[in-house]
Amino acid sequence: MTKNNRVSISLGLGVLFIAVSFLYLNYKVPSMEILQAIRLPRFILTLITGMVLASVGNIYQMLLNNPLAEPYILGTSSGSALFSITAYIMGFTYLMPLFGFLGAVLAMTLVWFIAKTGSGINTVKLILSGIIVSMICSAVISLYIYLFPNQITIIMGTLMGSLNHVFTNLEWYIFLGLVALSLLLLTYLYFLSNSLNIISTGDITAHSLGVDTAKIRKQIFIITSLLIAIVTSYAGIIGFVGLIIPHIVRMICGDNLRNNYFITMLIGGTFLLLCDFLAFHISPFGELPVGIITTLIGSIFFISILRKRN
C-alpha cells in the first residue's frame, strides 16, 4: 500500500472517529453536568479500552506468530477478573479496579515464571502458560458463581465486559493518571514496532539482523500486560475487538506494524465507541453487555471483508 493511500485512509478514519465521538457524546443532548460527569468518563474509558485491545491484539498476533492470538490469551485478563470479583465478594466494591490490576500483574508474573526458559521465552510455552493460568482463574470464578449465586450480576458483568463503571471522584483522578500512562506505553510500543516486524520473520533472521529477541519479547510482554491490566480492571473482559480489528486493519493496510499501528488504534477506539453507543441506546431501559454487540457487528463486518478479498 502506498503512502498516499495510507494518508487518505487515515484522514477518512479521522473524520469517522470525530463523527462517532460527536454522536456518542451528544446523542439526546445531555445536560452539561451529565455530559461532563458521566458521559465523558465513559467516553474516555471506552476509547482507551478499544485502543488498547486492538493494539495489543495486533502486537500479540505478530509476536506470537498466531492469527488467533488476542489480548486475553496470556491470562492477564482472567487474573484481573478473578481478583476484582474476589474484592467484590469480600465486600470491597470500591477496591475492585485495584484488585483487578493486582490480579493481572500476579497472573502475568505466574505466566512468565511458567514460560521462562534459560535464555528467554518460547512462544508456544508462553501461549500454553497463558491458557493454563486462564483456566485456573476461570475454575475459581466458576466456584464463586457456584458458592455465591446471588452475586451473579457483578460476576457476569466482569466476565461479559461492561463500560458502565461508576466512577467516584478519587477513582476518576486515578483513572486519568492510568490513561496517561497507557498512552505513554502505547507510544513506546510503537517504537518497538520495527523490531517486532523483524521478530515476526523468525528468531534466526532477527538475530542475524542484530535484534535481541529475548529482551524485546520481555519488554513487550510486560508493557502489554500492564495495558491489559489497566483496561480490564475497569471494563472487564470485552471479547472480539482485540482479535478481529487487527485482521481487518492488516487486510486494508498490510502487515507492516509500523504502518498500521496508529490506524489499528484508531479503528479499535472508533469501533468500540460505536458498539458501546449501540449497547447503551438500543434497549429502552437497561444496557446490553457491549461484548454481544462487538461480536455481532464485528463478525458480520469481518465476514463481508473476507468474502470481498476472495
Partner 1 sequence: MIYHIEKTILLILAISLVLLLAGCVASKEKTSTGIVVTSPEVAEIIAELGGLDQIIARTQYCDYPQEMLEIESIGDFSSIDIERVIDLKPQIIFVAAFEQQEFYDKLQPFGIEVVKIHSNSLEAYYDNITLIAEKLGLSANSERLITKFKENIDDLTLPANRPKVYFEISSNLGTVSDNSFIGDLIIKAGGLNIFGDIKQDFFIAKNEDLVKANPDVIIALSQVSREEIVQRRGWNNITAVQKGNIYTVDDINIDTVMRTIPRSTQALQKFNQWFLNHDKK
The single residue among 162, 182, 225, 294 that binds partner 1, judged by CB under 8 A, is 162
**Which lies closer to partner 1 via its Cβ, residue 53 or residue 154?**
154
Question: Nearest approach, Cβ of 278 to partner 1 (angstroms)?
Answer: 14
Q: Is the dihedral of CA 193, 182, 114, 66 positive or negative?
A: negative
Q: Does 120 bind partner 1 (CB under 8 A)?
A: no
The single residue among 169, 204, 210, 308 that binds partner 1, judged by CB under 8 A, is 169
The single residue among 285, 307, 309, 310 that binds partner 1, judged by CB under 8 A, is 285
66: Cβ contacts below 8 Å, ≥ 6 apart: 60, 123, 127
Q: Does 2 bind partner 1 (CB under 8 A)?
A: no
Cα of 256 vs its chain's centroid, Å: 20
**Which lies closer to partner 1 via its Cβ, residue 82 or residue 266?**
82
Q: Does 166 bind partner 1 (CB under 8 A)?
A: yes
Cα of 205 vs its chain's centroid, Å: 30
At 184, list the grid cell: 505513554
Question: Nearest approach, Cβ of 83 to partner 1 (angstroms)?
Answer: 16
Contacting range for partner 1; rule: CB under 8 A; set: 66-74, 86-94, 179-187, 295-303: 86-94
Instruction: Tell which positions 16-45 bind partner 1, by CB under 8 A.
Output: 30-31, 33-34, 36-39, 41-42
Would you call 210 helix, strand, or coil by DSSP?
coil
Question: Nearest approach, Cβ of 167 to partner 1 (angstroms)?
Answer: 5
The single residue among 10, 109, 123, 287 that binds partner 1, judged by CB under 8 A, is 287
Helix intervals (H) in 27-122: 32-34, 40-63, 76-89, 96-115
Q: Does 144 bind partner 1 (CB under 8 A)?
A: no
The single residue among 22, 94, 188, 191 that binds partner 1, judged by CB under 8 A, is 94
Q: Show the CA angle centred on residue 254, arms to residues 267 and 70, nearest 5°.
A: 55
DSSP of 229-252: HHHHHHH----SHHHHHHHHHHHH
Q: Does 286 bind partner 1 (CB under 8 A)?
A: yes
Would residue 119 be called left, alpha or beta, if left means φ above 0 and alpha means ψ between -120 and 50 degrees? alpha
Task: State how far the alpha carbon of 237 is from the alpha carbons of 45, 70, 163, 231, in Å.
Answer: 13, 12, 10, 9
Check: CB of residue 244 under 8 Å from CB of residue 272: no
Nearest to 64 by CA among 253, 221, 232: 221
The size of the interface with partner 1 (CB under 8 A), counted in residues, is: 34
Which positions lie near partner 1, rule CB under 8 A? 30-31, 33-34, 36-39, 41-42, 88, 91, 93-94, 146-147, 149-151, 153-154, 157, 162, 164, 166-170, 172, 280, 285-287
